[in-house]
A and B are shown apart, each in its own frame.
Chain A
Amino acid sequence: MAEILGLAEAVAELVHDGDCVALEGFTHLIPFAAGHEVIRQARRDLTVARLTPDLISDQLIGMGCVARLVFSWGGNPGVGSLHRFRDAVEHGWPAPLALEEHSHAGLTNRYVAGASGLPFAVLRAYAGTDLARLSGQVAEVTCPFTGERLAAVPALNPDVAIVHAQRADGEGNVQLWGISGVQKEAVLAARRSLVTVEEVVDELTPRPGALVLPGWAVTAVAVAPGGAYPSYAAGYYDRDNAFYQEWDLVSKARETFLAWMREHVLEPSAVA
């Protein structure tokens, strides 16, 4: 059964320096509050796995928490570049950032293999691209039945997966609905998992299409209302598109970025 912990306590217990941390949430339910707690606790040398590194990844990278990024698309969706990500890659600030780069399908299937207890996954991808020769994480396999040549990607089993969901009950059973990304796969592939939720309720009323993570499959649940903001939590609040546009200006220069982080993330009084 998942332990219900405070967010600071949960991050302190589950996320260690040097860990491979999967932070998932595909545009929806991005675990911002947990990411901010990782920044406040000044974790270092993390390998961060995330299909779509966006603002939370930009913040983790700019604050020096990340040594290696495993990803497939790093941008500010609909707006443009991630300036802190680019600064790290192009100028090594605040520290060099190693990249392990995939397509969405490639990285997704790494999680699927990890969650399935398999050493690798097979997909029809990568042939003819430069991605295949880059990461050293793609190999060609021959189908034993048809002789077709396909791509294989190794399982990804993060030390810890962090995701955000709408709600949990007192037993730590988690209910999540709307766009669900690869959250289930990331949680089941990881050795430990932390789910932040908007609220803990007495009883989880069934919802059509909702995904349930049983409490016994999750390590810890922490209540973090608004924990996906400025992304969104269907049924609770909308995506703050204006914030995503403003981030472009905030993050462009190192000084304005650091000032923003100090004011909004590092100062405990400003915790969202």
Chain B
Amino acid sequence: MSVASELEFTTSEVMTVVASRELRDGMTCFVGIGLPSTAANLARLHHAPRLVLVYESGTIGAKPRRLPLSIGDGELAETADAVVGVPEIFNYWLQGGHIDVGMLGAAQIDRLANLNSTVIGSYDSPRVRLPGAGGAPEIAGSSRSVIVVMRQSRRSFVERLDFVTSVGFGEGPGDRARLGLRGRGPVLVVTDLGLLRPDPETCELVLTHVHPGVSPEQVREATGWDLRVADDLETTAAPTAAELKILRSLEATKGADG
């Protein structure tokens, strides 16, 4: 057994590390707050020093020395290559086609990777009123690719969304083109249990990896639809000591003042 696999790590940490590995040097990444922001900063400090972090507050090329609490912390503006207004960030930079990868979370996802971040229950009398769309629909539409990061359970991985906030593959193959969405859509869903990728023909999410110590049955049990498991199911590489060290020192700075 390698040293790394003996390290203890939390499910949040494995999600963050695995998501960060998808971000390559030189990419432009539209970053949401929370886990996506942590993952993007981990990637920047670990293996992708020229990863361009774009936050919807208009900060382009932010290089925060500590993790921001909000998408508009002063730290992001102070360390950015450019600070632009909100109309510009959405119209020119995102809709204009300058973003390689968008990272999104949501409260619910369906088998075609459509996302709900609006309400649980009916819209008019919701059981839970969530914050709403924010930048997600256009990030999902216009980024060249999308990575979704969310915890997996029957409540979040559902047969039918209560509300479609952001489009993954709509109702199936060809739908994105029909709707005029220019990006490829979700290429990967990172959960606390494993990784799901869309089937190239049907667009349906398929379990391709489980995290160390997780069984495919466990993942199917945590999914609200009959989840397909890839024939060549693999196990994700556990977080390394170097990844965990950077991640934990980043987490310790979250929202800290000066």
Contacts and interface: CB of A to CB of B under 8 A. Distances in A.
Interface string A223-267: 000000000101000110100110000000000000000000000
Contacts of B175: 128
A127 B181 contact: yes
Given A26-B72, A27-B57, A150-B180, A104 B134 contact: yes
A130 B118 contact: yes
A76 B163 CA distance: 21
Candidate in B57, B127, B134, B166 with the most chain A CB atoms within 10 angstroms: B134
Interface in A175-193: 178-182, 184-185
A78 B77 contact: no
A131 B137 contact: yes
A196 interface: no
B180 A104 contact: no
A105 interface: yes
A209 interface: yes
Contacts of A124: 95, 138, 141-142, 180-182
- A contact patch SS: loop
Given A71-B132, A103-B136, A109-B91, A209 B83 contact: yes
A72 interface: yes
Contacts of B138: 103-105, 123-125
Interface stretch (A9-17, A83-91, A164-172, A198-206): A83-91
A43 interface: no
Contacts of B56: 104
B20 interface: no
B109 to A, nearest CB: 14
A32 interface: no
Contacts of A85: 129
B58 interface: yes
Contact of B129 (A51, A90, A185, A245): A90
A27 B167 CA distance: 26
A238 B256 CA distance: 10
Bin the interface of chain B by size.
Answer: 35 or more
Contacts of B256: 241
A179 B72 contact: yes
Contacts of A241: 69-70, 73, 255-257
A105 B91 contact: yes
A148 B34 contact: no
A102 interface: yes
Contacts of B94: 105
A5 B33 CA distance: 38
A239 B86 CA distance: 19
A112 B225 CA distance: 42
A86 B120 CA distance: 12
B132 A178 contact: no
Interface string A138-154: 00000000001110000
Contacts of A150: 180
B77 A179 contact: yes
B129 to A, nearest CB: 4
A52 B118 CA distance: 14
A109 B180 CA distance: 18
Nearest to A88: B129
Contacts of B136: 103
B141 A125 contact: yes
Nearest to B76: A179
A89 B124 CA distance: 9
Interface of A: 26-28, 51-52, 71-75, 77-79, 81-82, 85-86, 89-90, 101-105, 108-109, 111-112, 123-131, 134, 148-150, 178-182, 184-185, 209, 232, 234, 238-239, 241, 244-245
Smallest CB-CB A-B distances: 6 pairs: A27-B72, A75-B131, A77-B70, A73-B134, A78-B69, A127-B179
Interface of B: 33-34, 56-59, 68-74, 76-78, 83, 85-87, 90-91, 94-95, 118, 123, 125-129, 131-138, 141-142, 163-167, 170, 175, 179-182, 255-258
